[in-house]
């Protein structure tokens, strides 16, 4: 994947059967890629900036090549529609538990700063739960506006970072079942 054609998406879930939901989301995201999807391992992480007593997250990342004529905005709309299909409801409070969260981290070298979309994602370079899975699918990618690779950004995070993170499954084990029915 060439950097100018690489799209990076972070996945998260902390409501429902998170592992099953992430595996199913991988299948759906494959339909948005012109080539084979690169999938990270699944990672369990402590919630960051979430309401008290929020459940742990299952996080992952994918790298894909967008379909012809896809724009960051058109892809964002598809990601938001996919979140709704997986049971995401309109926000009541910031960072509340959700069955599926899909964040568009980067769309090649594109940069945006609109009310609808900021690219690259404004906090991705600071978050272990984003960088750890991204380092598996695009370790040498440099986010627009940064000078260090994703691997270097991850290595540069402070040791005292309070995000607890542990691998749940390796990226070669992602053979997901069909999408579950939603409650």
Residue 96 carries which DSSP code? -
Burial class for 58, CB neighbours closer than 10 Å (0-12, 13-18, 19+): buried
Nearest-CA neighbor of 143 among 3, 40, 13, 36?
3
Residue 166 carries which DSSP code? E
SS (H, E, C) 76-94: HHHHHHHHHHCCCCCCCCC
Measure the CA–CA gap between 138 and 38, rounded to whole angstroms: 9
Residue 37 carries which DSSP code? P
Start-to-end CA span in the chain (Å): 37
Which residues form the catalytic set?
A: 88, 98, 101, 103
**9, 121 Cβ separation under 8 angstroms:** no
């Amino acid at each position: 994947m060439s950097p100018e054609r690489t799209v990076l998406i972070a996945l998260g879930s902390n409501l429902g059967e998170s592992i099953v939901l992430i595996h199913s989301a991988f299948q759906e995201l494959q339909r948005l890629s012109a080539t084979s999807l690169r999938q990270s391992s699944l990672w369990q992480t402590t919630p960051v900036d979430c309401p008290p007593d929020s459940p742990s997250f299952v996080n992952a990342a994918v790298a894909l090549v967008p379909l012809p004529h896809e724009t960051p905005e058109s892809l964002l709309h598809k990601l938001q529609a996919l979140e709704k299909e997986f049971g995401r409801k309109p926000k009541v409070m910031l960072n509340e538990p959700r069955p599926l969260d899909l964040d568009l981290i980067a769309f090649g070298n594109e940069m945006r700063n609109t009310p609808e979309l900021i690219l690259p994602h404004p906090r991705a370079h600071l978050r272990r739960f984003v960088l750890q899975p991204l380092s598996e699918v695009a370790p040498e990618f440099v986010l627009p506006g940064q000078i260090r690779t994703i691997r270097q950004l991850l290595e540069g995070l402070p040791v005292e970072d309070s995000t607890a993170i542990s691998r749940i499954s390796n990226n070669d084990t992602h053979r997901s079942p069909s999408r579950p029915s939603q409650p």
